[in-house]
Each structure stands twice: as structure tokens, then as C-alpha cells.
Amino acid sequence: MESMPTNPKPPSIVRASSDPQKDLLRQVTASLKDGSLELPSLPDVALEVRSVAAERDLGISDLVTVIQQDPGLSTYLIKVSNSVYYRRAKPALTLAQAISRLGVSSTRDLSSSYAIRTLFFMRNKEIKGYLRDIWQRSVYTGSLAHVMAERCNMAPDRALLAGLIQDIGALPLLMHLEKYPALLADRDKVTALINQYSGKISALILNAWHFDDELVNVGLERENWLRDKRPQADLADLILVARYHTYIGETAVRGLPPLFQIPAFRKLPLGELDPEEGLAFIKTAKAEVEAMRQALV
């Protein structure tokens, strides 16, 4: 994975101790404070698509020129354009038809979603399993958010992107952890470290990628279950409720507050709760959620 430092400052130096967890905490904390933490770069194709999408004088043909350089992304966009949410009487057979159906904003966000996937599939054997698990939960969160967003009058493809980026801060943290094999072997400690630092690091990364404040806030507020900062629901609220559903059926859900007590849930027009499976309407949307997941895993 290619990385870029946030500024030219040299890496922080901390004194080693007999406790690898404390060493890691000091190293990450110092790097966050002085700005020396290396952050992952957004893949080039996503940068180019976002740049073209921001130009009012450019259009679908310009997006096609950029996107067709990546056959995988082209196939993905055509596939999504023919999904249940976008389906029309005639299927989109070409990239231009797919982009025309999706629109510029959705094409931009879907391209970023697809490109971010590559960051989680690294060759580093020691952290490969952690990255796979984090990505799978992110994909599930984003897929659920895509379905929920339509019901909440939010942009589904933006919700998908938000679900995929909320744990991006785990990437540089796990890169640090490669130096501490004893810690890597302890999944509970790794999970605790990710929960402690991932939000702040995600915000740094998303700012460096020039994502807007709403998306940055999604990363910053990950798993802040009781957040209640405004009367109206926002994208971070939607992602919290979607993420909560990824824990249903796991032992981890026992440590979470009941869904009906979460402010984000109370603000969103998501309908009735099923006693065992969270939101009742999600049962009827399983096929749509699964189709979105399969396109990204």
C-alpha cells in the first residue's frame, strides 16, 4: 500500500518499555500530536474521478475516459447500475449508459467505494486477517446503510461510501502493530486499540483526502452509540444504526446499549423493531443488501 505523510516532519521517537501495548500507545499518540503519522493515499482512479466530477465543464464522456482505464471499476459500475435500486426496463450495457443512469454524484461516490476496497487487500500476512474482517464489517455496514438511506431520504450511494470509510483509520494503526507480534496475537487487545484510536485517525485520513465534513464526522463518531448532538438525524446517525445491525447475532452485541435507547435510531424514520433481528423492514431487503455486499467483498 502506498502511503503519504501528512507533512515532512520525521517520525516520533519514543522510549521502549517492557510493555508493547504501552509502547504502541505512546508511538501512535505522539505521531498524532506532531502530525508525523503516515496516512494511506486514496487510489489514483478515485482521485481522478472525484476531480472530473467536481468540474462543471466536464461530463459523462470525460468520466468514461477516466474510468474505462480500470476494467474492474467499469464492470462494478455497470453491475450497480443494473441493481434493484437503479434498474430500468432496459439494462445498461455500456459504461456511458451506466454513468448516465447513476448520475455524476453517485458515480463519484461509488468509484471511491470501489477504490477504497484495494487498501484493505494487502500482502502483509501478519495483519491480513484483521483487514479482511474490518473490510467485511464495513461492507455490511455500507450495504445496510444503502438500503436504509432510501427510506430516510438520504443519498444511498453516499451512505454506502460512508459505511466503507468509517474504519479507514484502522489501516495505519495495524501497520504500526506489525512491529508488535505479541500484541497482534491478542485479538481482544487489538480490537480495543482500534476502538480507541480508529475514529481520530479516520478523521485525519478523510481530511487529507479532502472529503467533506459530513463524511469526516462519520469516521470520527464510529461506535459513539449515545451521540446526540443535534435534533435532526445526520449521516453519522444512519451509519451508527447500520453498524449496530452488523453486530446482531454476535456476542459483541451484549456489550451495546439496546437499539431503542440509541438516539440515532430514535431520530431516523426506520419503522418497527423486530425483537430478535433489529429493524423489521431489513428482512424484506435481504436480497438487495446481499447483492451490494457481493459486489464489494
pLDDT score, position 2: 44
CB atoms within 10 A of CB 229: 11
- Structure confidence at residue 18 as a pLDDT band (50, 70, 90): low
pLDDT score, position 241: 94
Q: Provide mean pLDDT across the span 285-292.
A: 81
pLDDT score, position 278: 66
pTM of the predicted structure, to 2 decimals: 0.84
Judged by average pLDDT, the poorest of 19-28, 34-43, 164-173, 222-231 is 19-28
Q: Is the predicted pLDDT of residue 5 greater than 70, yes or no?
A: no
DSSP string, 75-122: HHHHHHHTSTTT--SS---SHHHHHHHH-HHHHHHHHHHHHHHGGG--
CB 142 within 8 A of CB 245: no
Q: Is the predicted pLDDT of residue 150 greater than 80, yes or no?
A: yes
The domain locations on the chain are 3-296
Q: Is the predicted pLDDT of residue 13 greater than 50, yes or no?
A: no
Please state, in angstroms and rounded to a whole number, the distance separating the CA atoms of residues 115 and 51. 14
% pLDDT > 90, the chain:
46
User: Which has more pLDDT, 3 or 108?
Assistant: 108
What's the whole-number average pLDDT of the chain?
85
38-61 tens-digit pLDDT? 778 889 999 999 999 998 888 899
177-190 tens-digit pLDDT? 888 888 888 888 89
Q: Does domain 3-296 have CATH number 1.10.3210.10?
A: yes
Q: Is the predicted pLDDT of residue 15 greater than 70, yes or no?
A: no
Q: Is the predicted pLDDT of residue 151 greater than 90, yes or no?
A: no
pLDDT score, position 257: 92
pLDDT score, position 46: 93
pLDDT score, position 228: 93
CA dist 265 to 59, 235, 271, Å?
38, 12, 10
Q: Provide mean pLDDT across the span 258-268.
A: 90
Q: Hey, which residues does 207 pair with through a beta bridge?
A: none
pLDDT score, position 275: 53
Please enumerate in sequence order all residues whose Cβ is within 8 A of that of 112, keeping only pairs 6 or more positions apart, or say none: 42, 46, 49, 50, 161
112-149 tens-digit pLDDT? 999 998 888 876 777 888 999 999 999 999 999 999 99
Q: Is the predicted pLDDT of residue 9 greater than 70, yes or no?
A: no
